[in-house]
Amino acid sequence: MRKIIYFDEGSATDILLMEHGGQISSIDEKKGTVSLKGEAVGEVSAGASTGFLTIVKAAFNAKVSANVSHSRDTLATKTVTNTILTDFVNLKEKLVEKKTIEILEGYKVTALKDSFAFMKMYAPYMKIFREGSEAIEELKDLDLQNVDEILTAAKGYYEMVAFKNQKEVVLRFNINAFKNAYMLTDLPKMNLTFVAIEVGDCNKEDLIMQNELSGDSPSVDSLKVSAIMGNNQVPQNGTITKLKLYDVILAGIGEIQNED
């Protein structure tokens, strides 16, 4: 990839751990050891040893001051992240073959109006309007001054619809996984390649805030699709189409190439 704009390090780490023998079963920060299924990382066989496993152990051995260790911009933190990313990319073909992940290319993404993703994208800008402004008349019942803070505390993943020709899927993004100051608002403008895991399915209507909060799956008869989603229409057969739901692990510009 020429530029990475999103990497869900936690999800990638889980995949790598499963590929290398399972979850971390114990961590001893004093001794600087990490165990996989009861075996210390330093004792794992050579065939299972990778840069990822080595760097995990090194991360716990590193002695850095408290104020530095909590910084996401430290060299140690970046080294761990880059190692996880490199190992994940190098396993790409194997993971695709096993159908653990899928690579989605040529998709454009958008946030449905009245969805949590739509609100999260534009909530920070709402504070610039004066109370009573016509621009935010429809949102007068919301606490606009605190809506962004509330969303941050209440929801970690945000769903956006991705479309390619006549095909649509739903992509879910970890709001804390964006890189280099990119945000949800940047996604619709970019030509991105996504690495994602299929986790389920949903209706587009499920993404509307009112429906998500109520926990109901709206029917065709009760839902005013035209009012919520503009030109999107209910299928002729009277059913609501289920879309595949993916958790995005990696997103960036250009093809994904293995690192030497």
Per-residue pLDDT at 43: 43
* 83 and 110 fall within a common domain: no
* 161 and 116 fall within a common domain: yes
Range of the domain at 199: 102-253
Q: For residues 21 and 137, what is the distance between their CA atoms, to the nearest angstrom? A: 55
Per-residue pLDDT at 45: 38
Distance set, CA 90 to CA 20, 83, 156, 195, 224 (Å): 14, 11, 28, 13, 46
Per-residue pLDDT at 57: 53
Q: For residues 70 and 13, what is the distance between their CA atoms, to the nearest angstrom? A: 19
Summarised one tens digit per residue, pLDDT across range 87-110 is 889 888 999 999 999 999 999 999
With a CB cutoff of 8 Å and minimum separation 6, the contacts of 169 are 104, 107, 161, 162, 243, 244, 245, 246
* 173 and 120 fall within a common domain: yes
Task: Please check whether residue 47 lies inside any domain of the structure.
Answer: yes
Task: Please check whether residue 259 lies inside any domain of the structure.
Answer: no
Going by C-alpha positions, the residue among 61, 59, 96, 86 that lies closest to residue 74 is 59
* 8 and 111 fall within a common domain: no
Task: Please check whether residue 90 lies inside any domain of the structure.
Answer: yes
Task: Please check whether residue 260 lies inside any domain of the structure.
Answer: no
Looking at this protein, which amino acid is placed at residue 52?
F
Domain final residue pick, 97, 121, 142: 97
Q: Provide the 10 A C-beta neighbour count for residue 102.
A: 15
* 145 and 233 fall within a common domain: yes
* 123 and 93 fall within a common domain: no
Question: Quick one: how far is CA 220 from the chain centroid?
Answer: 29
Task: Please check whether residue 176 lies inside any domain of the structure.
Answer: yes
Domain final residue pick, 42, 66, 97: 97
Per-residue pLDDT at 245: 97
Domain final residue pick, 97, 130, 152: 97
* 225 and 188 fall within a common domain: yes
* 113 and 61 fall within a common domain: no
Per-residue pLDDT at 31: 54
Task: Please check whether residue 168 lies inside any domain of the structure.
Answer: yes
For the chain, residues with pLDDT lower than 70 are 21-80, 126-145, 148, 215-240, 258-260
Q: For residues 48 and 19, what is the distance between their CA atoms, to the nearest angstrom? A: 9
Task: Give the CA-trace dihedral at 137, 142, 143, 145, to 10 degrees.
Answer: -50
Task: Please check whether residue 258 lies inside any domain of the structure.
Answer: no
The count of structural domains within the chain is 2
**Two tokens, residue 119:** 């609100």
Per-residue pLDDT at 226: 39
Looking at this protein, which amino acid is placed at residue 143?
D
